[in-house]
Amino acid sequence: MSIPYSLVLRQIQPGEPEQGNKTFPAAQYAQNLNLNDMAKHMASHGSKYSKGDIIAVATQLVDCIREQLLLGNRVNMGDLGTFYVSLKAKAAANAEEFTTDLIKDVAVRWSPSQQFKSLKNEATFTYVGSRESQAEARKAEKERLNALATQQPGEESPEEDDEQGGTNLE
């Protein structure tokens, strides 16, 4: 298992362009898995529960976590981590002037368990280039294959193989 990444330039201090840019890694995702995908994956690991059972439990779990958060509780899910809320609000000059109208948002937070905090210790990384460079490479490969597919029998190939058996793209 390896985490794909590309490199991006970002401001050292966001909002302060005079500070300059530095190169940072950015995770690249091959897929965006939904609950159905995860339930199918979990069921494929030899679980005695079906995909439908897993979806039902996960759906109920979401409903119950949400309910407990709205009651003001923290929900510790063991190896999954802890869910809790934080409040975003405008400040009041003093306690007497504070009203709940100043609360602008309730954000759900997740505090990972140690099992999630230690991912770096187990991760390997594979450089895959930016999405833009990947798209350009796919387009060039399709153009190359299309050119080869339309080549007439006996016609010389537009590219010559090098000594290692690979393709010379120069």
The DSSP bridge partners found for residue 88 are: 105
The sheet with strand 82-89 has its strands ordered as 75-76, 82-89, 103-111
Structural domain spans, the chain: 33-73
Residue pair 167/159 in contact by the 8 Å Cβ criterion: yes
- Please answer whether residues 75 and 82 qualify as being in contact, where contact means their C-beta atoms are separated by less than 8 angstroms: yes
pLDDT averaged per 10 residues, the chain (length 170)? 87 79 88 94 93 96 97 96 97 96 97 90 89 85 84 67 46
| pTM exceeding the 0.85 threshold for the entire prediction | no
Residues 6+ apart with CB under 8 A from 87: 103, 105, 106, 107
Provide the residue count of the chain.
Answer: 170
